[in-house]
């Protein structure tokens, strides 16, 4: 087990324009300490795009000795659930767990609980009342459709609401009655009084509060008015003392509103500032929560943590190490330009990490039987195999060898193409960690299907013996049949066949019909000793991780990733 890092290593200290701003603000004394936040809305599971934002916000806190708040941005109870809240907490903890710096408390310094925007419903309401008192907000009786229609469009100015000049006392009275539950859903709103002709649509008297008679998963039934994102977000930042409020580029156009609300309230403390960076887009991947939810609801995948999804929970289940995701987030960097990152970059980060850490095991995914005819029936030999050539400390293990083996169906061919260096009639091949064998015969059933391959073993050729250097072109993997354990293996491929599944039209038409194949593999017995969360390399096949569906008498493994990029040759 690796011990958690306490301070970031040099390679773990990226630079980008946001970190430069933070460094400058600390150097100039504009802020004594940096405080960032990661504000997910609990309306779905987090995905790899969120991982980029988590690594940025928690990374900055860690590198500059500050703090990052995990804050549930829970202002829209009709789409949110407490199961999502729990999943988000688990995902964030897992992703940054390896960092475990003492100064980087998850959220509240006192506990591991996150912050909730809903905990600020009282102060947010008070801020709204203050805006009304200052003549900067009013209660509007327009229907949602009329509100939209009055807003105009980017090339056409909006029109002022007939309720815009309501006297302050009347606004206060109506807002109190909205809160008291006197009015039905959507019948009234509280709006900021800014400018209906502003070129920036977000400044055209945006809605600050709306009426929704629904229970809140966190706040219970105390509220029937809920604040809108733009109102709640900046003020939550202010309440928490956030210095740098970092979000994705789509919010750039919201920034004038973010600033307007904070300034209109004439607040006493230092104000937070919003900065924007380009979101992560990945080829062959959908990241919109709406689309992910559709895949889950329509049962096109097995749940939010399906290993084919780009969700953090899915990738964790698949066996992707948190280190690899953090390394990926740092590799792609932070810029202001939207683009698409090749999913191969992520896959490379995963392979690189697993190559260093994963122990090697032998397993056969699609077995055929192989008999070594020149060994006695009860032959047994305990061979030794190294656990990880990249890590001498990983040691060795015993590998049972016997007369009856399984090899991979693909590693034998009766009609081999040119340059086929695996097993063929009359040909020789080396069994990894063991002997050179020669194929003498093939036994088939009536339908012509291969039942077993019969070989003789060269007893002088064991790896390590004098005769072992004898040249044979191919080496194949194998397991001893009487010692093998059966394991269900789930082989995943990309969920979408198109590099841009989000193009025009229905994204579901790009679903890969072969994204999951299940086989019953045979593995060497030491696999049973592998710890629950451990990932191993099945030699020549890829990296595999135990799935939570496993039980002591039925192992289930996920293929985390193949050893090489099988898509590269397809362009």
Q: Which is nearer to ligand ATP, 278 or 485 (CB)?
A: 278
By CB under 6 A, name the one of 19, 50, 62, 490 that touches ligand ATP. 50
Q: Where are the alpha helices (DSSP H) in 333-470?
A: 343-357
Cα 144 from Cα 131, distance rounded (Å): 22
| 52 in contact with ligand ATP (CB under 6 A) | yes
In the DSSP assignment, the letter for residue 539 is T
Q: Which is nearer to ligand ATP, 139 or 332 (CB)?
A: 332
| 68 in contact with ligand ATP (CB under 6 A) | no
In the DSSP assignment, the letter for residue 303 is S
For the bound state, the minimum distance from the C-beta of residue 335 to ligand ATP, rounded and expressed in Å, comes to 12
Q: Which stretch binds ligand ATP (CB under 6 A): 40-48, 164-172, 316-324, 404-412?
A: 40-48
Write b or e for each residue in 463-497: b if 16 or more Cβ atoms lie within 10 A of its Cβ, otherwise e: beeeeeeeeeeebbbbbbbebbeebbbbbbbbbbb
Return the biggest CA–CA distance within the chain: 101
Q: Of 41, 215, 252, 488, which one is the catalytic site residue?
A: 41
Q: Which is nearer to ligand ATP, 281 or 355 (CB)?
A: 281
For the bound state, the minimum distance from the C-beta of residue 380 to ligand ATP, rounded and expressed in Å, comes to 55
Q: Which is nearer to ligand ATP, 238 or 406 (CB)?
A: 238
For the bound state, the minimum distance from the C-beta of residue 229 to ligand ATP, rounded and expressed in Å, comes to 8
Number of residues that bind ligand ATP (CB under 6 A): 14
| 43 in contact with ligand ATP (CB under 6 A) | yes
Q: Which residue lies nearest ligand ATP, judged by its C-beta?
A: 49
Letters for 230-269 (x = contact with ligand ATP by CB under 6 A, - = none) are: -----------------xx---------------------
Supply φ then ψ for residue 284, to 5 degrees.
60, 20
Closest listed residue to residue 54, CA positions, set 25, 86, 93, 82: 93
For the bound state, the minimum distance from the C-beta of residue 486 to ligand ATP, rounded and expressed in Å, comes to 40
By CB under 6 A, name the one of 40, 59, 77, 367 that touches ligand ATP. 40
In the DSSP assignment, the letter for residue 135 is T
E strands, 200-261, are 207-211, 225-227, 244-248
Is 569 exposed, middle or buried, given 0-12, 13-18 or 19+ CB atoms closer than 10 A? exposed
Cα 236 from Cα 227, distance rounded (Å): 11
Q: Which stretch binds ligand ATP (CB under 6 A): 45-53, 95-103, 128-136, 492-500?
A: 45-53
DSSP 136-155: SEEEE---HHHHHHHT-BTT
Is 154 exposed, middle or buried, given 0-12, 13-18 or 19+ CB atoms closer than 10 A? exposed
Enumerate residues 284-323 that contact ligand ATP by CB under 6 A: 287, 289
Q: Which stretch binds ligand ATP (CB under 6 A): 43-51, 139-147, 457-465, 528-536?
A: 43-51
Q: Is residue 279 among the annotated active site residues?
A: yes
Q: Which stretch binds ligand ATP (CB under 6 A): 48-56, 355-363, 485-493, 497-505?
A: 48-56
Residue 469 CA: distances (Å) to CA of 374, 465, 475:
21, 8, 13
Q: Of 136, 159, 212, 279, which one is the catalytic site residue?
A: 279
Q: Of 71, 204, 289, 326, which one is the catalytic site residue?
A: 289
Q: Which is nearer to ligand ATP, 42 or 321 (CB)?
A: 42
Q: Which is nearer to ligand ATP, 277 or 543 (CB)?
A: 277
By CB under 6 A, name the one of 125, 279, 397, 454 that touches ligand ATP. 279
By CB under 6 A, name the one of 14, 18, 19, 39 that touches ligand ATP. 39
User: 3-state secondary structure string, 1-46?
Assistant: CCCCCCCCCHHHCCCCHHHHHHHHHHHCCCCCCCEEEECCCCCCCC
| 49 in contact with ligand ATP (CB under 6 A) | yes
| 41 in contact with ligand ATP (CB under 6 A) | yes
Q: Is residue 41 among the annotated active site residues?
A: yes
- In contact, 312 and 45? CB cutoff 8 Å: yes
Is 156 exposed, middle or buried, given 0-12, 13-18 or 19+ CB atoms closer than 10 A? exposed
Cα 188 from Cα 211, distance rounded (Å): 7
List interacting residues with ligand ATP (CB under 6 A).
39-41, 43, 49-50, 52-53, 247-248, 279-280, 287, 289
Show which residues are catalytic: 41, 279, 289
């Amino acid at each position: 087990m690796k011990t958690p890092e306490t301070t970031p290593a040099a390679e773990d200290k990226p630079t980008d324009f946001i970190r430069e701003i933070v460094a400058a603000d600390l150097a100039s004394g504009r802020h004594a300490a940096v405080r960032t936040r990661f504000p997910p809305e609990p309306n779905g599971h987090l995905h790899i795009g969120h991982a980029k934002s988590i690594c940025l916000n928690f990374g900055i806190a860690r590198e500059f000795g500050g703090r990052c708040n995990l804050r549930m941005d829970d202002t829209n109870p009709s789409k949110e659930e407490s199961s999502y809240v729990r999943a988000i907490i688990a995902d964030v903890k897992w992703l940054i767990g390896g960092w475990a710096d003492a100064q980087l408390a998850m959220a509240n310094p006192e506990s591991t609980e996150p912050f909730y925007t809903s905990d600020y419903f009282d102060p947010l309401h008070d801020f709204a009342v203050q805006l009304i008192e200052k003549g900067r907000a009013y209660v509007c009786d327009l229907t949602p459709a009329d509100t939209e229609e009055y807003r105009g469009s980017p090339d056409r100015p909006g029109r002022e609401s007939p309720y815009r000049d309501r006297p302050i006392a009347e606004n206060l009275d109506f807002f109190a009655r909205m809160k008291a539950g006197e009015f039905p859903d959507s019948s009234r709103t509280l709006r900021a009084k800014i400018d209906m002709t502003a070129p920036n649509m977000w400044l055209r008297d945006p809605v600050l509060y709306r009426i929704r008679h629904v229970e809140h998963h966190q706040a219970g039934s105390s509220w029937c008015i809920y604040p809108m994102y733009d109102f709640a977000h900046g003020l939550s930042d202010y309440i928490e003392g956030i210095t740098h409020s970092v979000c994705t580029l789509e919010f750039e156009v919201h920034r004038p509103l973010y600033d307007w609300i904070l300034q209109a309230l004439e607040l006493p403390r230092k104000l937070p500032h919003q900065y924007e960076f380009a979101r992560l887009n990945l080829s062959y991947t959908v990241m919109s929560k709406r689309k992910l939810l559709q895949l889950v609801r329509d049962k096109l995948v097995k749940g939010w943590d399906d290993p084919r999804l780009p969700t953090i929970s899915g990738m964790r289940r698949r066996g992707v190490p948190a280190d690899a995701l953090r390394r990926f987030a740092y590799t792609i960097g932070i810029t202001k330009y939207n683009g698409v990152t090749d999913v191969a970059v992520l896959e490379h980060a995963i392979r690189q990490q697993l190559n260093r850490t994963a122990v090697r095991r032998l397993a056969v995914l699609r077995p055929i039987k192989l008999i070594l005819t020149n060994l006695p029936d009860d032959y047994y030999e305990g061979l030794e195999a190294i656990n990880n050539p990249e890590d001498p400390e990983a040691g060795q293990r015993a590998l049972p060898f016997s007369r009856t083996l399984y090899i991979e169906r693909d590693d034998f061919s009766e009609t081999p193409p040119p340059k086929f260096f695996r097993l063929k009639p009359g040909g020789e091949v080396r069994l990894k960690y063991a002997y050179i064998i020669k194929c003498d015969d093939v036994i088939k059933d009536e339908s012509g299907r291969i039942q077993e391959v019969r070989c003789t073993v060269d007893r002088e050729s064991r790896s390590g013996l004098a005769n072992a250097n004898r040249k044979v072109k191919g080496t194949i993997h194998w397991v001893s049949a009487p010692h093998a354990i059966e394991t269900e293996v789930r082989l995943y491929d990309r969920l979408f066949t198109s590099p841009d599944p989000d193009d025009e039209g229905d994204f579901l038409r790009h679903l890969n019909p072969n994204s999951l194949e299940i086989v019953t593999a045979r593995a060497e017995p030491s696999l049973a000793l592998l710890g629950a969360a451990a990932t191993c390399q099945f030699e020549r096949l890829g990296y595999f991780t135990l799935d939570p569906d496993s039980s002591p008498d039925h192992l289930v493994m996920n293929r985390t990733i193949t050893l090489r990029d099988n898509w590269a040759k397809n362009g």
